[in-house]
Structure formats: C-alpha cells, structure tokens
Amino acid sequence: MEVVGAVTLVTSGALVVAVAVAWARIPRALGDALVACGGAGLAIGGLLVLGGAATSAWIIAPPVVAVLSVVHVRLLVAPGGPMRI
C-alpha cells in the first residue's frame, strides 16, 4: 500500500500545484473543487503510506484536509497574501 499511497500523494500534489499555477484563469468554484479534491487525495495518500490507520482517521481526515486546503489557498491568494494575483 505504500507505493499506492506515494503515487496518490504525488498526483494529488501535482493537481494542487497545477491549480495554483492556473488560479487566475479558472472559475473560482472549479478552483475550490480541484483544490479540495487534491487535499482529500493528499490525506488519503498519507493514510495509505502510514498503513494501519484507524477507521476514524479514514472518515475524518479527507474532508477536514479538503476544507483546510481550500481555506489555505484562499488565504494565500487573498489581497495582501503572498501569492495574490
């Protein structure tokens, strides 16, 4: 499962980076959805690499990381933020 987790981490990270690069050219709702999917993928990949994670971690981590990743990106590109566009 570690290999699948590593592949999931890499592809989810690449998705988030691609959205960050194209942030100004895509609709806000689409950007938020893609960042949320990438965040959930990062959580799932981390749990796969970890191995033996509890059921509660599988239930809680993906949606929490998805929401926090959208909040994080919104703060980065907010007026006055380090990646403002």
55-84, pLDDT tens digit by residue?
999 999 999 999 999 998 888 876 666 766
Residue 81 lies in a domain: no
Residue 46 lies in a domain: yes
Residue 26 lies in a domain: yes
pTM of the model: 0.85
d(CA 58, CA 55): 5
Q: How many domains does the chain have?
A: 1
pLDDT, residue 78, reads 65
Q: Domain of 45?
A: 2-76
Q: What is the mean pLDDT of residues 48-57?
A: 91
